[in-house]
Structure formats: structure tokens, C-alpha cells
Structure 1
Amino acid sequence: MKAVSAGALEIAYYEAGPADGLPTVLLHGFPYDVHAYDEVTKALAESGHRCIVPFLRGFGSTRFLSEDTPRSGEQAALGTDLLALLDALSIETAVLGGYDWGGRAACIVSALWPSRVRGLVSCGVGYNIQNIAQAGNPAPPEEEARYWYQYYFHSQRGRAALEQNRRGVCNFIWKIWSPTWVFDDEIFDRTATSFENPDFVDIVIHSYRHRFGGIPGDPALEAIEAHLARQPDISIPTIVLQGGDDGVDPPSSADDDAKYFTGPYERRIVPGAGHNLPQEAPTEFAKAVLDLSQKFYISRHAHRP
């Protein structure tokens, strides 16, 4: 494991593959961590990719550089963390892949700083930029029911559950979000240690409360949130992967997100996979990353021609 000072954080990350390979940053979600990409990085590293897999803010060994920085979990924070990581590692352009919170960070950088991105693999919600201005509009009841945990985290009872029994809460979420994925205690425990980060609870709670517009964000990020409120298009080559058995974001028959992607675009539904798609279906995820270069002519060299 390595670490680098990047923006407000010292970001801990794993790296695999040749140093001069195609930079490929892989981002986990909540409540997961870097181990979601263990098998993916093996496959991509063997194919010549330089894989960088960071712990998001509030997870694992990633830490804030200052006690005074707001422990924000808002989407703009995730996006700027990723941009800062690219800058800190002197990566001019990279392929980005992610799901859940990590997919959101990848979508934000792809939308707002497209010159830094060669291609995108986005899992679950393909266009993963939150429309906070519309957060007060109710969804269909079956969708609202799937978001029980978000409303739970709005309460002090939900916060107390994360503080006192975060492993239990997260283990239950794993099971219902990936109902056909069989994982054992060893697999879960390897990731659950990341939830012991001292900022985990504050960031998770802030993330789920901020996205509904109920609490303020980090003042330093207001301008970026204003850009995101416009729901900017994503113009770079993109492959969206959706787990056929995803218990929280099940794929619909219509691709409602396609309108946000103005460049080369493809959606793939992966049968038998749930929400934690890179860990459940690593072959399909790695193939999507490799297909970006083969189908959309993304150079495998470290710099654009």
C-alpha cells in the first residue's frame, strides 16, 4: 500500500501493473473498499494497465491532513478528491472505473474535467451525478423502500447504529444489495476493517443527509456543486455495467441515463451480479475496461498521441 498527499487528504492506495502502462483508477463504493478490485487489478495489470485503487475519504488508511477540514461526504468532495489524486500522481489522463460512491466520483471528473479522462466504466446507476435540486420529489414506492438506509441515516438512531454496529449494518447491506452473491466472513472482514476509519461515520452520515438538501455542504465546494446541479453531460467513451441482481439499483428495461452520454456509449447488463459488481463479476468488469481501448480506440500508452 502507498500513500500520497492530495488536496485535503493523505490518500492511501494500492498500485499494480507496469509503471508506464495505461493509468487506470478504480474506485470503490459504500460500504465496500479497495478489495472489491482484487481480481480486476490482476487481469488489468497483466494486460498492461497501471492500476491505482484508492481508499475513499472515510475508508481504510486514507486520512484528512487537517482537523479543520469539514468531514463532508457530498458528491463534489468525492470528485475533487479524485482530481487531486490524479494531480498528486502526475497523471495527465486516465481510464476511470467505479461504482456507487466511486462511480459518482468518476462520473463527476468525466463531466467537469473531461480532458483528464480517456474512458469511463460506470456501474449501477450509469449517470451517477446526483440531482440534489430534485431530491425532494418522491420516487415510486418500491424505489423508496430500497432506500430505507438513507432515511435511517437521517436519524440519530441510524447514526448510533453506524457508531455501535457498523459491521452488522454493512454486512446486512451487502446481503440485500447482492442477494445472489455468496461471500464468507473472511471476505467481509477483509473489507470491514476499512470501516474503522475515524471519519467513517461522519462522512457516511453527511453524504446521505446532504444529498437530500437537508444540511449544508463544504463551503469550499459550493461552486462545483453549482456545476453539478446543471446535470452536465459526459462526452468521453463510456461503458455502463449493471448487475442483473442488483438489490438497490436494479436495471430497468429502458436506458434512461443514455441521454446524458454524448460520446461513444454502451450499456451492458451482467446476469447474476449484484451491486458490488467488480468483486462479483471481475471478468466482466475487466473486459469492459479493456474494451474501451479496443472498441473506442483509447491508446494504451501513458500519454495521449
Structure 2
Amino acid sequence: MGALETMMPPPKRARLNGVEIGYYEAGPREGVPIVLSHGFPELAFSWRHQIKALGDAGRWVIAPDQRGYGLSGKPGKVPDYDIDHLTGDMAALLDHLGVEKAVFCGHDWGGLVVWQMPLIHPGRVAGVIGLNTPFMPRGPSDPIAGMRARFGPDMYIVWFQNPDEPEAVLGADTTWTMDFFMRKPAAAPADPPPSASGSTFAFRDLLKMWDPSSDARERLLSPDELAVFADAFRDGGFFGPVSWYRNFTRNWERSATLPGRIDGIPCLMITAELDAVLPPSAAEHMPAFIGDLETKLVKGSGHWTQQEKPDEVNRLMLDWLDRRFPK
């Protein structure tokens, strides 16, 4: 058996919000459940260490492969991946499980989803845990235009707006792609070198130039763990995952009618010291927008915090849950 079978509970499936969602569940079906929302390019498997720790601690934990990923359905139109669909899947998952409210915990893109849950589905949220990804108040202008102006056309989120090419490049060799992404930080965080066009975070060019034999970053995953990610994206492709990014402008336009702050629920923000994409400084504004917030720092971790420093993440989550949602 591979790592997916040995490190995860048996998968479950349900038709939710117009798409089939595959999800994993552990712990007793009692108390306030914790729903884990993964990022890009990840899977529910990214939460394998938290699923075991939370379940072993007697917490009901649920981790879906979100739409476009892994075992879940992969709709073929870009608007199928906007924030209303992504948060709607989470609410529908609670409906399927017969649950009124959950604590939502999200990393990377999953963090964007869970911070929007109390704004779009306030009656379904008992609390929020952000991992690396802070709550981001609505900006004054289209975020893609801003990123294009600041980082250039090849910055990965701007590049992802182009049709077809990003998923072709990322999907050409998924073992290569996932091995490039899933590494620990080499040292102190620093922006990747710019592309020929001057763009930073130009993953297209970095993937082409990358030489794993000279990469100073330590591998994060065992070969069996890497195979789980590589196989999932080889089978499912990157159209769905990249299309999450293609809705940045749509989501910004939609957010004009949403509340601008979160009050009335406890929130935990866990930052990672060496995350170059989402540094701790990105969360410094949050106390002005969240009424009940605790912030914790995981030292020595890069971007893949729940996989790089699972024991520390588990400790921080369980400590907060035990205080704010005692069993």
C-alpha cells in the first residue's frame, strides 16, 4: 500500500453543491468539528498529520479534497471555482454531515476560503484558524491589476490568468513539478530571482531552470508521499486548481457587498517564520479587522507549515481548541 492508504482514513464521497466531493474523516462524531481546507497545489493529504493528531485527541476532523483536486469533481468552467462555489462546498459539506457549525482551518488558498466563510456563511462558522494565510481586507482595486503592476506579467498568479499554458507547464511532469514545490526553505526567506521580464515568483521560468541536484532546499516529502501528489495531479490535471486563481477579479468584485471585518467568533492565526510567499508581516494588520484574535509564530518553517512542522502546528491547534472549544 502507498502513503495515501497508510496515512489517511478511508475516503468518503458525497454529491455536494453540484459536484462530487471526496473527503476524509477521523475522531468521534461529537462536539464542534474541525474542517481542514488545503491550498495550492495540495490535497487533503497535506493535512495527514493533523487528521491523525486531532482524531487521536478526540476531535471530530474532516478534510475534503476541494473541487478541482484529488478525489473531487473537476468542473470545466472557470466561474465554477469562484469564492461562492468554494465556500458553498464547505457549507454543503456541513449539511451533508448534519452539522450546524464548524471550526474552519485553512492553509494557503484554503486560508482565503476559510476567512471568507464567516463573511459569506456566518451562521455556519464557530471559529477560524488561518495557517500562513492572513485575513485580507478588500482592497481598493482589482488585485490582478495590482499584482501585474507590482510583480510583472510572469508572476505566477498573473501568469495563471492566461488560458491553457499554466496547466500544460505544471502538468508536463507532475513528479518534477511537485518535487520543485514541496521543499523546505534553504535559509532566511527571500524572493525568488526575477524572470527575464523582471517578474518575481515566476514559477514558469523557475521550473524550466530548476536543477534538483543543485537545489539547496531539503526535500519535504518521502518518495511515497511525493507520489501521492504527483499521481493526483497527473490524473486530475491543473485546470481546476489554476482556475481558483482565475477568479481573483470576480471574487474581488463580489466582495463589495460583504462585511469588512470578523466579529463574534474566536480566530487563531498561525504564521511561519520562513514563508517567502506569506510572511508573518502579512498578518500584522489583522487585529484591526478581527475582534477576537490570537496570533502564533512557528519558527523555522517555510510555506508548507502543517507538513514541515506538524508537531508544532498540532500543539498550537489543540491548545487553542481546548481553550476555546473544550470537549
CA RMSD of aligned residues (A): 3.0
- State the distance in 2 between where 1:190 and 1:239 align: 29
- State the distance in 1 between where 2:100 and 2:46 align: 25
**Mind listing any 5+ residue stretches in structure 2 that lack a counterpart?**
1-10, 187-216
- Secondary structure, in 3 states, of the residue corresponding to 2:181? helix
- State the distance in 2 between where 1:233 and 1:242 align: 20
Paired residues for 1:39-118 under 5 Å: 39-63=49-73, 72-118=80-126
Deviations for 1:39-73, whole angstroms, at most 9, x for unmatched residues? 11111112211111100111111115xx6876633
How many residues were matched structurally? 284
Are positions 1:291 and 2:319 aligned together? yes
- State the distance in 1 between where 2:103 and 2:30 align: 14
Question: Which residue of the partner structure matches residue 258 of structure 1?
Answer: 287
Which residue identity lines up with residue 150 of structure 1 in the other structure? I
- Secondary structure, in 3 states, of the residue corresponding to 1:269? strand
Deviations for 1:212-270, whole angstroms, at most 9, x for unmatched residues? x3xxx5xxxx8x962466463122211111111113112228712222212x2111111
Are positions 1:268 and 2:296 aligned together? yes
Deviations for 1:107-147, whole angstroms, at most 9, x for unmatched residues? 11123323322221101121057648441235896xx38x8
Question: Which residue of the partner structure matches residue 271 of structure 2?
Answer: 242
Paired residues for 1:121-200 under 5 Å: 121-128=129-136, 131=139, 133-135=141-143, 136-138=145-147, 144=151, 148-155=155-162, 156-175=164-183, 179=217, 182-198=220-236, 200=237
- Secondary structure, in 3 states, of the residue corresponding to 1:63? coil
- State the distance in 2 between where 1:194 and 1:292 align: 33
Conserved 8 A contact 2:69-2:240 = no
Which residue identity lines up with residue 207 of structure 1 in the other structure? W
Moved more, 69-78 or 14-23: 69-78
Question: Which residue of the partner structure matches residue 16 of structure 1?
Answer: 26
User: Given the superposition, is the C-alpha separation of residues 254 and 91 from structure 1 closer, same or farther in structure 2, using an over 3 Å criterion?
Assistant: closer
- State the distance in 2 between where 1:132 and 1:78 align: 23
Percent identity between the two aligned chains? 27
Which residue identity lines up with residue 57 of structure 1 in the other structure? R
Moved more, 131-140 or 158-167: 131-140
How far the C-alpha of 1:152 sits from its partner, in A, is 2.9
User: Which 4+ runs in 1 deviate beyond 6 A?
Assistant: none
Conserved 8 A contact 1:59-1:196 = no
Question: Which residue of the partner structure matches residue 277 of structure 1?
Answer: 305
Higher relative contact order (Cα pairs below 8 Å, separated by 6+ residues): 1
Conserved 8 A contact 1:239-1:288 = no
Conserved 8 A contact 2:108-2:131 = yes
Conserved 8 A contact 1:36-1:278 = yes
Question: Which residue of the partner structure matches residue 15 of structure 2?
Answer: 5
TM-score by length of 1: 0.81
- Secondary structure, in 3 states, of the residue corresponding to 2:61? strand
- State the distance in 1 between where 2:43 and 2:97 align: 20
Conserved 8 A contact 1:154-1:208 = yes
Conserved 8 A contact 2:120-2:258 = no
User: Given the superposition, is the C-alpha separation of residues 93 and 197 from structure 1 closer, same or farther in structure 2, using an over 3 Å criterion?
Assistant: farther
Question: Which residue of the partner structure matches residue 303 of structure 1?
Answer: none
Conserved 8 A contact 2:134-2:283 = no
Deviations for 1:176-235, whole angstroms, at most 9, x for unmatched residues? 77856633332221222222354x422233222331x3xxx5xxxx8x962466463122
Question: Which residue of the partner structure matches residue 243 of structure 2?
Answer: 206
- Secondary structure, in 3 states, of the residue corresponding to 2:280? coil
Which residue identity lines up with residue 303 of structure 2 in the other structure? H
TM-score by length of 2: 0.76
- State the distance in 2 between where 1:20 and 1:237 align: 20
